């Protein structure tokens, strides 16, 4: 007997949120390794904040 996986109507949203979290975690890891926000912005395609 095969059991069908339960698919939540919100699973697509949850996947998008998880992907966003993983992406931002990579930004943090890169910053920790290079200690230069400018490099992180350039490598990750993040626009620089204007102050």
Give the total number of structural domains in the chain.
Answer: 1
Does residue 13 form part of some domain?
A: no
Does residue 48 form part of some domain?
A: yes
Does residue 36 form part of some domain?
A: yes
Does residue 33 form part of some domain?
A: yes
Evaluate whether 11 touches 19 at the Cβ level (below 8 Å).
Answer: no
Does residue 1 form part of some domain?
A: no
Does residue 39 form part of some domain?
A: yes
pLDDT value at residue 50: 58
Structural domain boundaries, residue 35: 22-51
Averaged over successive runs of 10 residues, the pLDDT of the chain (51 residues) comes to 76 92 96 96 86 45
Q: How many distinct helices (H) and strands (E) make up the chain?
A: 2, 0
Does residue 40 form part of some domain?
A: yes
pTM of the model: 0.70
């Amino acid at each position: 007997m095969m059991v069908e996986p339960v698919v939540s109507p919100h699973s697509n949203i949850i996947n998008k949120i998880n992907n966003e979290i993983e992406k931002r975690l990579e930004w943090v890891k890169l910053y920790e390794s290079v200690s230069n926000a400018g490099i992180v912005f350039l490598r990750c395609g993040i626009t620089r904040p204007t102050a």
